[in-house]
Amino acid sequence: MHVDEIGDETLEITQAVAVLERQIRAAGLRLKESSDFSLFEDTVRATEDRYLMEDFSSKFFDLHSSGAFWIGAWDRKGEPVSVQAAKVEDLRDRSLGQHWQQQQRRMFVDPSEEAELGLEHAHDAFFMRGRIVYHGNLWLRKDARGQGLAEALTQLGFLISLLKWSPDYLYGLMAARNAMKGFGIRVGYRRFAPRGTHWVKPPEHIRPDDWLVYSTRNDLVTLAKTIVSEDPE
């Protein structure tokens, strides 16, 4: 935990985590945080979507507790209701945009000759450097949507990332329609850049219109303070 970089806000962040956990458990859900990505893959296969992102697949990455975790939520019957994952990259020597050029090619272009990666990624990505967290593979079961759980679960993942790594940035890639409807701001992202990664010809299962959505470390600390200040208890 990078307490020195978070500063004096550690207590407020942990209080915010407790508030979110209470809200989620009040909905009858059991939470589990883990760095076992074999279990993550098994859990994803048990969901109705069964969609495992390449970023969190053992086929492409060795994911360990020092640099990655996932959170799952299950109902009283033991059925999965939500999954999400996060991992941190040390990008002090290159920007996020430059990192995408290498990583997206490895995951999508090399396995498929039909995909073609472009160069015109989100403008902001070429200025983002440092310790950067990618948050993704977020899924919430259809019958649990529209109840505020998406917001609480996502924010929980954000704040656990903040406590673990004190990142300079935390980002995701969000469908344009969701970003424009305000979903990004509701779950805790504070900065938005139309177009995420640029595809000349995207892989069949990748949206070409995703936005880069992200928050700085200070944005995440402010989010934690807001959660605590708005808690009715």
> 40 phi and psi, to 5 degrees?
-60, -45
Contact 187, 156 (CB under 8 A): no
Tokens of 74: 């299950």
Eight-class DSSP state of 106? I
H or E element, residue 229: helix 217-230
Specify the higher pLDDT residue, 110 or 38.
Answer: 38
For the record, the structure tokens of 214 come out as 């992200």
Q: Domain 3-230 classified CATH 3.40.630.30?
A: yes
- What digits encode the pLDDT tens for the residues 159-172? 999 999 999 999 99
**79/74 Cα distance (integer angstroms):** 5
User: pLDDT per residue over 58-101, tens digit each?
Assistant: 989 999 999 999 999 999 999 999 999 999 999 999 999 999 99
- Helices and strands: H and E segment counts in the chain: 8, 9
Q: Domain spans of the chain?
A: 3-230
pLDDT tens-digit profile of 213-226?
A: 999 999 999 999 99
Q: What is the pLDDT of residues 180-198, one digit of tens each?
A: 999 999 999 999 998 888 8
What are φ and ψ of residue 33, in 5° steps?
-105, 140
